[in-house]
Structure 1
Amino acid sequence: MPETDLLSLQIDHVGILQSRYEQILDDHGYDGLLISSGSAPIRYGDDQSWQFQGYGPFLHWTGLTGFEHAWLLIRKGQKPLLSLYQPVDFWHASLELEQEPWLAEFEVRFSESRLAPELAGLSQLAVIGDPCLLADLPGRKNSGALCDALDETRVHKTAYEIACLAQANRLAMAGHHAARDAFLAGASEFEVNLAYQRATLQREADAPYHSIIGVNEHAGTLHYQYYDTVAPARSRSLLIDAGVRFRGYCSDITRTTAGVGEGRFGALVQGLEQLQLRLCDMVAPGVDYLDIHRKTHLGIAALLSAAGLVSGLSDDEMVSEGVTQAFFPHGIGHFLGVQVHDVAGKRVQPPADAPFLRLVRTLEPGMVVTIEPGLYFIPSLLEPLLSGSLGSHINRSLVGELRGCGGIRIEDNVVVTDSGRRNLTREAEA
């Protein structure tokens, strides 16, 4: 999409948010809402701060991920007031605000003070953000009912948001291709990470989340957080779960690659990808997301049977007896937006058979979700299964052979459209 079109969509996006927020303020009896961008807290016992990326509602309006101590004031019938902290400082550089058309929709101020802007003329003020930054402010702070309503404004993405998410996918896929090539050339986890960063031109600190890069058995730790600097003697598998943040919006993509000579594991990767594509095709308005999750377990059961990992049990029995849960322990995905695990996914708690599912809603146009089935060889989950009454149905020898590959996860980012779905990740991969 040309940049001019994106910038035009951003103006429309701001107008949509103004309308949505004004309605919510009216519904809840407020005449103004002050949003804090947040700031990076100082580490305990240190003079260094944690990495900063901004508070979700502030990013939803502005996409300005790096502006600490900024404020956004929303008022009915008036332009939003954007106050940006710009101190005179010879220790640190101040971020430059690019002059783009959307800024004309705001009253923009720059301040050398971290304090909130003047709030005169507002009799019913709401304030949201990190409570540590709101203590001395007037108004009602972080009202649960108001925050829930504001979270709903992020569920149905505008055309601008979808365009940003699509670009975040395009940038991330370049990184995934570079990471795969580095792995196949014998790179360590650390070197794979560097290849990903070089291809995406994104600092690790600016990524939407810490990239998960697991070689061999490390791929079986769902949120593996370390990078070996030396490649193993035999590189059997790579699982990389990594995204890019573009104008505040996140991609969240996972790919698994079998090492050279790993035919059996490679066949499992291909089988899971075929299942993943079928699950993506289920995304459509009116579909209960929980049904996609449950269909995943049946698909995992069929794959376990076809691969010879489990025998003597029907697909339904594998699901009901918890066999598939041991191989696929997490949920099928979540909402995606300015947060990787975007808000408002669980208006009700997930059922007992899907305890880790982050999205329990019926799909509607404008929602953006991830679809990420997995199949893992995790000792702590498989050992109770192997030692229990169902152990005779598990191919211990094959499980032992594949355990060193860790596991498989394949994840795409999918938009619910009026008539079906749009797979942003596969578009970017083409």
Structure 2
Amino acid sequence: MTELHRQQHDHLDRLQQDYARVLAEHRYDGVLLYSGRPARHFGDDQHASFSAYGHFVHWTGQASLAHSWLLVRPGEPPTLYLYAPADFWHLPARLPEEPWVARFRVELRDTPEPPPLPRGRYAVLGEASPAMAQALGAAANPPALVAALDELRVRKSDYEVACLRKANRRALAGHRAARDAFLAGGAELDIQLAYLGAARQRESELPYANIVGVNAHGGVLHYQHYDLEPPGKRHSLLLDGGCRHRGYCADITRTWPGPDAAPEFAPLVEGLTALQQRLIAGLAPGGSFVALQRRLHEGLATLLVEQQLVNASAEAVLESGLTRAFCPHGLGHLLGVQVHDVAGRVDAEGRPLPPPAEHPSLRLTRELEAGMVVTMEPGLYLIPMLLEAHRHRPEVAWRRLEALADHGGIRIEDNVLVTAEGPVNLTSREG
């Protein structure tokens, strides 16, 4: 048995103990987790890409198992009802030959319907309709129970951290190959294909659709296309690319100047990278992520002044709200079996913690705790529709900004483990 397998056994032990406690607190005899089903395109016989329900993946690490069920009961091994019908059109699902499988009772099934439940009080979680749960005599996604189980995913086990490290290594291999493809003159599609090949992951298995923004496309926060032809000039590449390993997600962003970049661009990339590293150093148990969000904007104001994009004091830039036009998104979020992992906006009692009014896109508002893995992703973008509202400001160096308009934007993102001894960056700086 490898060290990873031993860590996985410990992870499963902890899950069994935690589920037993939560189920007892909420007076349930057990919970049935549904992996989910791929959605079919309307009027078609083709399905969309699929990823299993997070709580199912938390136990099994299997993000591609559809139509399967996991019954968890205190004092009993979990029962995995694996949908694996005899089929010559498709290869039936199968489990890996690994030690963790022996921890489960596995029952192969040829129907996607839910299994019957034993006597008692049960809940069904996942993409299960109230009618389906009612037919089983169970509750469908009771909010209090779901919130309590969400909380179990906030602090990562050693096994989960190991999986996240591996996902980061594979994603970084993709980033390096993508950078090389860009510098060699490739189009966005060429860059994406180079990424997939180096990360050894097919597109439908990625935790999210990679963002490959060349030039001005880097200023579209969730840019969703891949140009087939290379640009005439290569100013910049913003690549937000992930990878999934044993169900766990990497979420990394890098920005590189191209051979045709304006001389002002590289210092901005370097300045934002330095700011990101200072923000990472501030990650500690008990710290406020909302306070870090404010520090992000303080740092942006200073960078804008230092790089002569705004001719005013950093304090005046911050007070004016101008930095939010350059970075409208949040600093980061929880990371795990989902990219935007659960429980980022609740307190320890499960009560909502909405983002501050000035930062409505912030996905993580709770106090930091040891064991959390968070992304840290400051950005600096040239987004015309946001900057236009500040066109009346004479302190903004509009000519310098116009020289950078074709560069789109900058985002630097790492995945970081919060510990009592200090932050542990799971994303190597060599990317």
Asked if Structure 1 and Structure 2 have the same fold, meaning a TM-score greater than 0.5 normalized by the shorter chain, the answer is yes
1:115-146 CA distances to partner (integer Å, 9 max, x unpaired)? 222312x3111111103493543201100111
Shift of 1:90: 1.4
Shift of 1:284: 1.1
- The answer for the alignment partner of 1:283 in structure 2 is 283
- The answer for the alignment partner of 1:326 in structure 2 is 325
Q: Counterparts of 1:35-54 in structure 2 under 5 Å? A: 35-54=33-52
Query: Are 2:311 and 1:311 aligned?
Result: yes
- The answer for the alignment partner of 2:345 in structure 1 is 346
- The answer for the alignment partner of 2:113 in structure 1 is 115
Q: Could you tell me how far apart the structure 2 residues matched to 1:259 and 1:132 are?
A: 50
Contact 1:350 1:360 in 2 (8 A): yes
- The answer for the alignment partner of 1:294 in structure 2 is 294
- The answer for the alignment partner of 2:361 in structure 1 is 356
Q: Could you tell me how far apart the structure 1 residues matched to 2:413 and 2:219 are?
A: 15
Contact 2:234 2:260 in 1 (8 A): no
Query: Are 2:393 and 1:385 aligned?
Result: no
1:24-68 CA distances to partner (integer Å, 9 max, x unpaired)? 100001001000000102111111111111000000000111111
1:169-218 CA distances to partner (integer Å, 9 max, x unpaired)? 00000000001111011111000000000101100100000000000000
Contact 1:285 1:419 in 2 (8 A): no
Query: Are 2:373 and 1:368 aligned?
Result: yes
Q: Could you tell me how far apart the structure 1 residues matched to 2:333 and 2:194 are?
A: 27
- The answer for the alignment partner of 1:65 in structure 2 is 63
Give secondary structure in 2 for the equivalent of 1:287: coil
- The answer for the alignment partner of 2:127 in structure 1 is 130
Shift of 1:296: 0.5
Q: Counterparts of 1:9-408 in structure 2 under 5 Å? A: 9-120=7-118, 122-132=119-129, 134-135=132-133, 136-262=135-261, 263-312=263-312, 314-347=313-346, 348-386=353-391, 388=392, 391-408=393-410
1:413 pairs with 408, 415, 426, which one? 415
Q: Could you tell me how far apart the structure 1 residues matched to 2:260 and 2:32 are?
A: 58
Shift of 1:261: 4.3
Q: Could you tell me how far apart the structure 1 residues matched to 2:139 and 2:84 are?
A: 27
Shift of 1:292: 1.1
Give secondary structure in 1 for the equivalent of 2:233: coil
Q: Could you tell me how far apart the structure 2 residues matched to 1:265 and 1:306 are?
A: 13
Shift of 1:234: 0.2
Q: Could you tell me how far apart the structure 2 residues matched to 1:96 and 1:221 are?
A: 40
Contact 2:344 2:365 in 1 (8 A): yes
1:357-391 CA distances to partner (integer Å, 9 max, x unpaired)? 000011111000000000000000001111x3xx1
1:319-345 CA distances to partner (integer Å, 9 max, x unpaired)? 221100000110001000000000000
Runs of 4+ in 1 over 4 A off after TM superposition: none
1:247-268 CA distances to partner (integer Å, 9 max, x unpaired)? 0000000000001142311111
Q: TM-score, normalised by structure 1?
A: 0.96
Q: Could you tell me how far apart the structure 1 residues matched to 2:109 and 2:66 are?
A: 12
Amino acid at match of 1:86: A
Shift of 1:76: 1.2
Amino acid at match of 1:284: A
Q: Could you tell me how far apart the structure 2 residues matched to 1:129 and 1:137 are?
A: 14
Contact 1:221 1:406 in 2 (8 A): yes
Q: Could you tell me how far apart the structure 1 residues matched to 2:318 and 2:305 are?
A: 12
Q: Could you tell me how far apart the structure 1 residues matched to 2:120 and 2:257 are?
A: 62
Q: Could you tell me how far apart the structure 1 residues matched to 2:316 and 2:327 are?
A: 15
Q: Could you tell me how far apart the structure 2 residues matched to 1:323 and 1:118 are?
A: 58
Aligned sequence identity (%): 50
Amino acid at match of 1:297: H
Shift of 1:289: 0.8
Q: Could you tell me how far apart the structure 2 residues matched to 1:127 and 1:44 are?
A: 27
Mark the runs of 5 or more structure 2 residues left unpaired by the alignment. Answer: 347-352
- The answer for the alignment partner of 2:349 in structure 1 is none
Shift of 1:393: 0.7
Amino acid at match of 2:395: H
Give secondary structure in 1 for the equivalent of 2:106: strand
Contact 2:69 2:82 in 1 (8 A): yes
Shift of 1:92: 1.1
Contact 1:377 1:399 in 2 (8 A): yes
Shift of 1:80: 0.6
Shift of 1:96: 2.5
Amino acid at match of 1:359: L
Amino acid at match of 1:271: G
Amino acid at match of 2:365: V
Amino acid at match of 1:416: V
Give secondary structure in 2 for the equivalent of 1:131: coil
Q: TM-score, normalised by structure 2?
A: 0.96
User: What number of residue pairs does the alignment pair up?
Assistant: 422
Amino acid at match of 1:8: R
**RMSD (CA atoms):** 1.2
